Structure 1
Amino acid sequence: MNRAPSDVSAPPAWDYDRLVAVARRHGTPVHVLDVRRLDRAAEHLLDALGALARPVRAYYSVKTNYLPYLCRRLAGHGMGADVVSGYELEAALAAGFPPSETVFNGPVKTEDELAAALRHGVRVNIDAEHEIDMLERLAAQAGRTVEVGLRISPGTPVSTSSDPSYRAQAERAARRNRFGWPAGSPQLARLVERIAECPHLSLTAVHAHLSSQIVHHDLMLGALERVLDEAQDLHRRFGLREVNIGGGFGVPGIRRPRSGPLSALWSLQGGDPVPDEEPVLDLASLLSDVDKQMQDRGLDGVALACEPGRWLVSDAMAMVTRVMSRKELPEANWLILDGGNNMAPWAGTGEVHRLVPLGRAFSPVSRNWSVAGPLCYENDIHAAAVDLPDDIGVGDLLCLHDTGAYSLGRSNNFIRTRGPVVAVDGDREEVVWRAETTADVFHLADPGRQVSTGAPS
């Protein structure tokens, strides 16, 4: 894959007038997928990989956003797919991702799912020890040898903070990571030997997925060096074909809090912790550095693969939502929207997304607002404190940016039904996921209920 580099500047601003028009036609809340932003991200990724002088592969992380329209678009760019369940595998193949360019990851894989992967020629990256026995038996029954990968955990954190209590938590979480097997551990060595003893399995890949929304280049590279050390030894023994560094690449459009108990205690005592500056991850630079590390370890000719999800789709979608209530209280000023955590489910990770008022000229005077969704649920909060115009009120529109990642797949119908997804591509506009109805919510109910067709006896 050799490609001429494309423009890697920041993406153009959203067309807010277009978002307003979409909201008027389709109602709110509504997710809008900008197809050209998606295409641009895919081209940048493929350019960064194509600049390397080795085989490369890009697998789209389907769990990030399984919207069929979006998956078909990325498959059309020649990308492969990373799936973590049987139904994701079905969705990926239906979208046009080639089976030979699809990998099956995840901590749980049923025997039926493994059988489907082998039947389609999809490589499995082993995460659980019992998968080895199941794969060996299935491959033996099929009368062939199948390639497998092994997931490795470096055990070192990939995020940091000026708060030492956060750093301690991150270090402990990295050591306890349940995904993969610790680099340099006897447990990893045992699994390698078990695979080597299987006549129908061929270990040809290593895989690591370190975290999500990673923005610290040096920490990620340092963690991957431990994985590459293992890959070096395995390559000498087995002849690897691929090193897959996973995804989790951070995007500039969101921010995650990196504070621990110490910051919380300081705040309770009246302190005001200053948030750390959030780095912007340069993916092309990271891939280039990983390539150099692979060269240093004699991994020439081994493919470098990655599995971005958020990096590809986060900025490609935005949600337009409407102010339904304005409450000015003694301790807080609230804006309550019609789009909540049921459509933008990030309460658990505490992500901060940019909010922009749309549709009219607003006062230049701003006020600090708390912004919530419509759910009768205390954690349905988009922003605890954000500066927005003083005169914003009921009926006004807001754009919640970066809703492309982990929105549709993690959405739910708790209290309110979900809105549609509308794709825009230049002048073209298409509903690619319709709004949910009450009938959709209850269509699984009472599957065995008998319907009476006559008078009671």
Structure 2
Amino acid sequence: MSTAQYTYEKPMIRRLNSGLMNKFAGASPNQRKVKSEIAGVAVEDLVAAYGSPLFVYSEKTLRRKFRSMKQAFATRYPDVTFGWSYKTNYLKAICAILHQEGAIAELVSKMEYEKAKALGIEGKNMILNGPHKPFATLEAAVRDGVTINIDHLDEIEDLEAIATQIGQTIAVGIRLNLDAGIQPCWSRFGFNLESGQAMEAVHRIVSGGKLQIKGLHSHIGTFIMEPEAYARQVEKMIEFGYAIESAYGWRMEYIDIGGGFPSRSRLKGTYHAAEVLTPAIDDYADAICDAMWANLKSGHTPKLILESGRAVIDEAGSLITSVCSTKRLPDSTRAYVLDAGVNLLFTSFWYNFDISLGQPVNGECEQSVLYGPMCMNIDVIAESIALPALSRGDRLVVSTVGAYNNTQWLQFIEYRPNVVLITESGDVELIREAEDLGDLERRERLPARLAIAHLEKV
């Protein structure tokens, strides 16, 4: 007779709503996809070497995604430049790979500018955007030959002061916000086109006599699912560029349409697979490049700049996480606590991730909820997911998490974990070490009077 001990669990009865299958459904509700390896490396081997939770990037996927986007546009327009959006993921190894592929650095802050410089990127291969450019950063950017897109009137004054200091005219771009037919309309950044604000800014630049506009920039939003929105954007930008040329003789050298292309992540509130909902990158390239050719004057082919981000990196990133504990909620829902939560997956507030089992698990699936380790009620990775009965130590693999999670992750309650890169040859490289207490306290200072030796015993 077996002497194994079993934990008693009170039986609970729940109504089962299985729903109906449709042509868009993937696996059955009673099945959960298994992903026991990432880029050819076993999940268990990765955890054994680097711990859990663990971010894992596939170099092969990253390079493939970038080349696919580059090919889509370069075959349709003769002068295309890609600016890697640092805010999407500024891990040095990730940026270095994309710079190797030919992307320049698209930056929106002093911090990102300094990261790009530290990586060895020359100013001529940088674009500086964003609403906050400190004066000293603008000075350095001008000195380094960075492409600067002006966001507001105060920035015009700063650049004019710098131009006076150096005794020469500074070539700049100007950022526009415009109605591309989608909502919400991003009106916070740059100068509004439809209200006439953008042309007023141009007049202001002309009157100062110290700056010269050489390009236009606009970023209409994020996760744009409508390729034709970019066509409308391009048409308006080109029309405005020719209005400037007609008035002042400044021909646009570049049209920077920003980014915002979606990845294969699935937005909350959508139910079909990303492959069904998300247009192909060729659809975006067709819409944008057709609009360029349709609106440009004969013989004029300004540089087309795209600030690629999410669509390039998202699918290259995965997160391995482990079950820490299991429980039943009062309504009988099965719940699991993981060692990764919203501290590492900040974008979980907007996306339903692709979550796979890290190993085969037998048994029928039931609707469950996945919580993270934070002592916060909002720390929910999946509000409802069909899973078989999991045990402590079981692995889950969360996919399509390469965009924004490593730039927006929180140093809150838990240390941030290791990040590894699986190379094209299948080797595993550590590209960011897990944090320890020294990382947290390195910048802190404890006054001597508050040292433990001086505290009175309570």
Question: How many residues matched?
Answer: 412
Question: For residue 428 of structure 1, what is the amino acid of its counterpart?
Answer: D
**For each residue in 1:150-206, what CA deviation from the matched residue of structure 2 results, as whole angstroms up to 9, or x when unmatched?**
111113453xxxxxxxxxxx3xx41x6201222222221210111222333110111
Shift of 1:446: 1.5
Tell me which residue corresponds to 2:26.
none
Q: State the distance in 2 between where 1:289 and 1:234 align.
A: 24
**Structure-2 change in CA distance of 1:323 and 1:276 (3 Å):** closer
Tell me which residue corresponds to 2:169.
145
1:356 aligns with 2:356: yes
**Structure-2 change in CA distance of 1:346 and 1:448 (3 Å):** same
- SS of 1:322's partner is strand
For 2:146, which of 118, 122, 130 is the aligned residue?
122
Tell me which residue corresponds to 2:417.
419
Conserved 8 A contact 1:225-1:293: yes
**For each residue in 1:54-110, what CA deviation from the matched residue of structure 2 results, as whole angstroms up to 9, or x when unmatched?**
311100000111101111111111210110111201111222433212110001111
Tell me which residue corresponds to 2:202.
192
CA RMSD of aligned residues (A): 2.5
Q: TM-score, normalised by structure 1?
A: 0.84
**Structure-2 change in CA distance of 1:321 and 1:138 (3 Å):** same
**For each residue in 1:6-51, what CA deviation from the matched residue of structure 2 results, as whole angstroms up to 9, or x when unmatched?**
xxxxxx9944752331112111001011111111112112212321
**Structure-2 change in CA distance of 1:358 and 1:106 (3 Å):** same
**Structure-2 change in CA distance of 1:46 and 1:94 (3 Å):** farther
Tell me which residue corresponds to 2:436.
437
Shift of 1:298: 2.2
Q: State the distance in 2 between where 1:364 and 1:251 align.
A: 32
Shift of 1:297: 2.0
- SS of 1:234's partner is helix
For 1:231, which of 227, 241, 252 is the aligned residue?
241
Tell me which residue corresponds to 1:346.
347
**For each residue in 1:123-152, what CA deviation from the matched residue of structure 2 results, as whole angstroms up to 9, or x when unmatched?**
110111110111111122112222211111
1:93 aligns with 2:103: no
Alignment of 1:398-409 (within 5 A): 398-409=396-407
Q: State the distance in 1 between where 2:109 and 2:446 align.
A: 25
**Structure-2 change in CA distance of 1:430 and 1:337 (3 Å):** same
Q: State the distance in 2 between where 1:433 and 1:81 align.
A: 20
Q: State the distance in 2 between where 1:427 and 1:37 align.
A: 12
Q: State the distance in 2 between where 1:41 and 1:106 align.
A: 26
Conserved 8 A contact 1:72-1:96: no
Conserved 8 A contact 1:214-1:250: yes
**For each residue in 1:257-301, what CA deviation from the matched residue of structure 2 results, as whole angstroms up to 9, or x when unmatched?**
359xxxxxxxxxxxxxx7798621322332232222222222532
Question: For residue 408 of structure 1, what is the amino acid of its counterpart?
Answer: N
- SS of 1:391's partner is coil
Shift of 1:447: 6.8
Alignment of 1:8-407 (within 5 A): 14-15=38-39, 17-158=41-182, 170=183, 173-174=184-185, 177-236=187-246, 237-252=249-264, 254-257=265-268, 279-299=277-297, 300-331=300-331, 332-348=333-349, 350-359=350-359, 361-363=360-362, 365-388=364-387, 390-407=388-405
| Pair member with larger Rg | 2
Tell me which residue corresponds to 2:18.
none
- SS of 1:48's partner is helix
Q: State the distance in 2 between where 1:88 and 1:24 align.
A: 33
Conserved 8 A contact 1:84-1:105: yes
Conserved 8 A contact 1:320-1:398: yes
**Structure-2 change in CA distance of 1:78 and 1:448 (3 Å):** farther
Question: Which residues of structure 1 form unaligned runs of 5+?
Answer: 1-11, 159-169, 260-273
Q: State the distance in 2 between where 1:339 and 1:82 align.
A: 30
Tell me which residue corresponds to 1:163.
none
Q: State the distance in 1 between where 2:312 and 2:62 align.
A: 7
- SS of 1:403's partner is coil
Question: For residue 373 of structure 2, what is the amino acid of its counterpart?
Answer: P
Percent of aligned pairs with the same residue?
25
Conserved 8 A contact 1:319-1:399: yes
